[in-house]
Amino acid sequence: MSDQIKSRERVQEHGEVFTNPREVNAMLDMVKQETERIESRFLEPACGTGNFLIEIIRRKMAVVAQRYRKSLLEYERYTFLAASSIYGVELLEDNARECRSRLLKFVDGEAARAFKDKVEPALHDAVSFVLERNILCGDALTLKASDGEPIIFSEWSLATGDRVKRRDFRLDELLEGSNKQPSFAQLTWDWDEEIHAFIPAPIREYPLCDWREVRACG
């Protein structure tokens, strides 16, 4: 089997044919500026083992390394931001798991390359938690997670200093919100001038906390 195919059965049952790096790069180059913006959010609805997401994090982390190579604290903070801006949905649990561990290994490797053993273990733990929340096993057609509940994604935004704000949204509402006027029951949704769409209200907001403590805050 090639790198693009795990088995004939998986191709037949799930259309599982992975995209090769040359095509991934050509497609991402169409939105090159966004892939190099550290906080720019990407969602891949059938992410497989993460061929697109790994290239996106590679591009973002190249910018982080170039901009913050002189300050470990800034490097760690913006690495957290880069990792927390990447989202995926994947039907098969083994692929979702592989995707998370590939991304985490890549982030760990880049951080070690930039700052060797000075990197705080908290970075590994925080990125690991964020990837558990951001790369979900579920169905991108029904927008349900593997437990049958609606897919819920967390938005992570850096506030002042090292503090991060987490807000949870239902994916079905986010997708619906961009297409139509909110109904009467959804009057709390905000109009976003920049993207010209209604943004649904979060289903849950968390208190600000240090990025190193996101696992405990969740």
Ligand X SMILES: C[S@@+](CC[C@H](N)C(=O)[O-])C[C@H]1O[C@@H](n2cnc3c(N)ncnc32)[C@H](O)[C@@H]1O
Give the residues lining the site for ligand X (CB under 6 A): 14-19, 44, 46-48, 51-52, 89-92, 95, 139-141
Q: Residue 129 CB, nearest distance to ligand X (Å)? A: 22
Q: Residue 100 CB, nearest distance to ligand X (Å)? A: 14
Q: Residue 4 CB, nearest distance to ligand X (Å)? A: 8
| CB of 206 closer than 8 Å to CB of 165 | yes
Q: Residue 48 CB, nearest distance to ligand X (Å)? A: 3
Q: Which is nearer to ligand X, 20 or 71 (CB)?
A: 20
| CA angle at 46 for the pair 42 and 51, rounded to the nearest 5° | 70
Q: Which is nearer to ligand X, 45 or 218 (CB)?
A: 45
Q: Which is nearer to ligand X, 139 or 213 (CB)?
A: 139
Per-residue CA distances from 188 to 124, 178, 198, 201 (Å): 36, 15, 10, 6
Q: Residue 150 CB, nearest distance to ligand X (Å)? A: 14
| CB of 18 closer than 8 Å to CB of 48 | yes
Q: Which is nearer to ligand X, 75 or 153 (CB)?
A: 153
Q: Give alpha helix (H) positions in 69-92.
A: 72-84
Rg of the Cα trace of the chain?
Answer: 18
Q: Which is nearer to ligand X, 43 or 217 (CB)?
A: 43
Give the residue closest to ligand X by C-beta: 48
d(CA 209, CA 79): 17
